[in-house]
Amino acid sequence: MSPRAFFRSFALAEIVTWSLLIVGMILKYGVRVGDWPVSIAGPIHGFVFLAYLVAGVVVAVNQRWGAGTTVVALASAVVPFASLPVERAIDRRGGLEGRWRLTATDDPRDQRLTDRLLRWILGHLALAVMLLVAAVVVVFVVLLIIGPPVGG
């Protein structure tokens, strides 16, 4: 799977879970069916939101995005349905072209810690995915324990 396909899949998942959350909120507050729609859609969206952020950072390092592009890509998860238009804009500018950078080159940037870590992740993908999923789960559980950002 290319960086483009990887990032696009998370951008689409973010849109789907935003839709679930909004439908859940309409059912809860508009139709007044109770809390259950949001209690189902909220955690799903929260988990995908965190996974999208992790995917965004991995792709940003691989594609060597600048800070501005990275911040816009990650912030797009906060605005409903913004992740896909942002992904498409980055793609149109060439920010998702190319393959995964699996080996070091003569480029001095390949010696940076982030680039070495990326190559380790890509070289040990199964272990890295398990560790990343575990990290997302830990953050997710901590956020669930803390509670929702607003009362109610």
Residue 57 lies in a domain: yes
Residue 47 lies in a domain: yes
pLDDT for 55-87, tens place per residue? 999 999 999 999 999 999 999 999 999 999 999
Residue 54 lies in a domain: yes
pLDDT computed for residue 12 by the predictor: 97
Query: pLDDT confidence of 22, banded at 50, 70, 90?
Result: very high
pLDDT computed for residue 152 by the predictor: 53
The tally of domains found in the chain comes to: 1
- Cα 132 from Cα 126, distance rounded (Å): 10
Residue 141 lies in a domain: yes
- What is the residue range of 114's domain? 3-146
141 or 63, which is more confident? 63
SS3 32: coil
Query: pLDDT confidence of 144, banded at 50, 70, 90?
Result: confident
| Cβ-contact 7, 55 below 8 angstroms | yes
Q: What is the DSSP string of 77-143?
A: TTSTT-HHHHHHHHHHTTTT-S----S--S-GGGGSHHHHHHHHHHHTHHHHHHHHHHHHHHHHHHH
Residue 28 lies in a domain: yes
Residue 123 vs residues 7, 98, 103: alpha-carbon distances, Å: 19, 17, 9
Residue 129 lies in a domain: yes
Percent of the chain with pLDDT over 90: 76
| Cβ-contact 4, 97 below 8 angstroms | yes
- Tell whether the model's pLDDT for residue 140 goes beyond 60: yes
Residue 106 lies in a domain: yes
Q: What is the pTM of this model?
A: 0.84
pLDDT for 90-129, tens place per residue? 999 999 999 999 899 999 989 999 999 999 988 998 998 8
Residue 152 lies in a domain: no
